[in-house]
Amino acid sequence: MFRLILIIGTGSFIGGVSRFLTSRFIQNHPASAFPFGTFIVNVLGCFLIGLFYGLSERGNLLNAEWRMFLTVGFCGGFTTFSTFANENVALLKESEFFYFALYAGLSLFIGLLATYLGNLLTKIL
């Protein structure tokens, strides 16, 4: 059990650092009230978790430890839905209703689509 906790913790650390760097890089480029950095990270994280679970369902491509490292650890550290919720509250507080609706709607729809496509990709390959 301790080994599994270390595996997940390591994945979470790498995912969290990757989230920070990716989000920071993206957010620093377009000047907008829309939180592009977190949006891209969430969509990418959804795609990756679909891909990783799809790979684990294909047989011996990912053992249980790698699946836990990549999904619970890395993707859990990488995706940012707590930040997503906080940013939506901030948009509402600032009366940015258009950006709130756009951000929440696109994150949900494209996140689900990306998860499906990541999983589908493993079945096609």
Residue 112 makes CB contacts below 8 A (sequence gap 6+) with 46
Asked whether the beta carbons of 104 and 88 are under 8 A apart, the reply is yes
Does the pLDDT of residue 114 top 80, yes or no? yes
Domain count, the chain: 1
Q: Please tell me the predicted confidence (pLDDT) of residue 30.
A: 66
Q: Determine the average pLDDT of the residues in 6-18.
A: 97
Average pLDDT over all residues of the chain: 92
Query: What does the pLDDT read at residue 11?
Result: 97
- Please give the C-alpha separations between residue 123 and each of 40, 66, 67, 70, 101, in angstroms, as whole numbers: 24, 19, 17, 18, 33
Q: Which of 86, 95, 89, 96 is nearest to 32 (CA)?
A: 96
Range of the domain at 95: 2-124
Q: What is the mean pLDDT of residues 72-90?
A: 91
Q: What is the pLDDT of residues 20-67, one digit of tens each?
A: 999 989 888 767 788 888 899 999 999 999 999 888 888 778 899 999
